[in-house]
Amino acid sequence: MKADRLLSILLLLQTRERISHVELAEHLEVSVRTVYRDVEALSAAGVPVWTERGRSGGVRLLPGYRTDVTGLTHDEARALFVLATEGTHDALGLGEAIRSALRKVMAALPAPHRGEAERTSERVLVDPARWMHGIETASDAHLAELQHAAFTDCRLQLTYRSGDAREPRSHTVDPYGLVSKAGVWYLVADRDGEPRLFRADRVLAAEVTDEPVHRRPGQNLATVWALLRERFESLPDGIRVRCRVRREQLEIFQRLFASQLVAPPHPMDDGWARAELALRELPDVRGVLSMGAAVEVLDPPEARAELAAVSTELAALYGARA
């Protein structure tokens, strides 16, 4: 829309002394001719903007023409630009919105704070993804439906595969909202009046119904999430797994399983290191297969049996194709 372009030009000019017409055209994804017309429209509306021609020319604003944000402290200005990586916003379809919002904030900042805020955005990056994991996986394809149900206060029909279930199940849930934790999206919802947590990457199908959501009185996303998080973190360790790790692969092992290590691995004289993992459930032990023969599970026996069964299935699969 033209109004959006005019506002974008004005905000950009408030952050830069001069911008060429070509640069503005590329940024706004319009022609240079359109930029000239937009600048003329700003001038006709009373904005003190003018054009200088030539190689060093461009579009300028009258010095001092800007809007200050009153009451914004130095630390508050910096804090606004310490944001999560763009992938989190992109997953919700808000990537361009956050970039536009930051441009507006930058344009409105008092001059003494602007440089420091810009340096903060260049020096600090918050990446919520775990090592070796992407922000969004192919299984997050239903995130849009989950978001739509939460925003429109509608019930959801889910086809969901739990971590310990062999077959997916269908659930009708009442969503409170979405939570992104360590790069993983979760749906916080009630199922049959009880709070539940659903990983977005385990949702096989999602359908927003016409039925209004039925949330428990006095509850919201923050309160239900706090309860679920407390329950999860207070669960006793489901299974302790002792294993040995090749010392040359110990660093990457510690990165991958940092949240599950009971204590720092203990190096041995035989080229291996001993480690102990605390897992929620037995199938979680399959994660060590990502390191191949660099990790050997020593006990409990059921953990070794789980890995042996999976390895047999893989050998049969790839052996048959060979």
- pLDDT at position 307 is 92
d(CA 226, CA 7): 40
As a whole number of angstroms, the distance between CA 61 and CA 55 comes to: 18
Render each residue's pLDDT in the chain as its tens digit; 322 residues: 566 777 778 777 877 778 888 888 888 888 888 888 888 888 887 888 888 776 667 888 887 666 554 455 666 666 666 654 455 666 666 667 777 777 777 766 666 666 777 776 666 656 666 555 544 443 456 888 898 888 899 999 999 987 656 688 899 999 999 888 766 788 999 999 999 999 888 889 999 999 999 999 999 998 999 998 888 776 555 788 999 999 999 989 988 888 788 888 888 888 899 999 988 788 889 999 999 999 999 999 999 999 999 888 888 888 766 5
Q: Show the tokens assigned to 148.
A: 């739509």
Pairing of strands 272-279, 266-267: antiparallel
pLDDT at residue number 69: 46
**How does DSSP assign 73-101, residue by residue?**
-HHHHHHHT--B-HHHHHHTT-HHHHHHH
CA gap 187, 203 in Å, rounded: 10
Q: Which long-range contacts (CB under 8 A, 24 or more apart) does 15-23 make?
A: 15/103, 15/106, 15/107, 15/114, 17/60, 18/52, 18/57, 18/58, 18/59, 18/60, 19/58, 19/59, 20/57, 20/58, 20/59, 21/51, 21/58, 21/59, 23/58
Query: What is the rounded distance in angstroms from the CA atom of residue 59 to the CA atom of residue 62?
Result: 10
How far is 205 from 141, CA to CA, in rounded Å? 9
What is the distance in angstroms between the CA of the first residue and the CA of the last residue of the chain?
A: 57
| CA–CA distance, 250 with 267 (Å, rounded to integer) | 9
At residue 61, the 3 state secondary structure works out as: strand
The C-alpha atoms of residue 228 and residue 220 are separated, in whole angstroms, by: 12
